[in-house]
Amino acid sequence: MYTLCRFDFLNILIERCLKTLSSDDYACSLQLQDFKKPLYFYVDKNRINMEKPKENLDEYIAGFPEDVQRKLQTVRATIKAAAPDAEEAIKYAIPTFILNGNLVHFGGFKNHIGFYPAPQGLEEFKEELSGYKGAKGSVQFPLDEPLPLDLITKIVKFRVQKNMEKAKKKK
């Protein structure tokens, strides 16, 4: 009888996670409950991160080189200015703003800042975003180009409006 060791089990999970990625996707994350403590890992096509997710945005941003930290702080400030009532959190191992549900997520990567305003946030601004790589619910802002802060502001305000409408319908 073959006994699955922990390493084999993780390899199987990582393979399954990678198989779920479409050609446009680049990452997935999983959280496993162990008997002693949770095990977190984040898988993308280039690396596997077995660290516990950061607990707050400051901690998350501090893990990047200084030039990327400045861009992440700029995105953070832009989102906060467009949605002052939104709360900050870490979800899916990346910074998230919450206002009546998830508003937007963003994250730092080797060559870009990922911005995740949900598919409806991207669909509404499809023409303005046409110069950027992206997938169904994400867009990539290259690190070597200026950030489109006005566009980020418009998208966040649009998402605030949609989340507020959704909250009113629930009442």
Residue-wise pLDDT for 82-140, tens only, equals 999 999 999 888 899 999 989 999 999 889 999 999 888 888 899 999 999 988 889 99
Judge if 83 and 43 occupy the same domain.
Answer: no
Judge if 87 and 34 occupy the same domain.
Answer: no
Judge if 71 and 102 occupy the same domain.
Answer: yes
* Domain tally, the chain: 2
The burial class, CB within 10 Å (0-12 / 13-18 / 19+), for 13 is middle
Please give the residue range of the domain that contains residue 23. Answer: 6-49
Judge if 43 and 74 occupy the same domain.
Answer: no
Judge if 11 and 82 occupy the same domain.
Answer: no
Show the CA angle centred on residue 21, arms to residues 158 and 89, nearest 5°.
45
Round the CA-based radius of gyration of the chain to a whole number and report it: 18
In the structure, what pLDDT confidence band is assigned to residue 68 with cuts at 50, 70 and 90?
very high
Judge if 25 and 64 occupy the same domain.
Answer: no
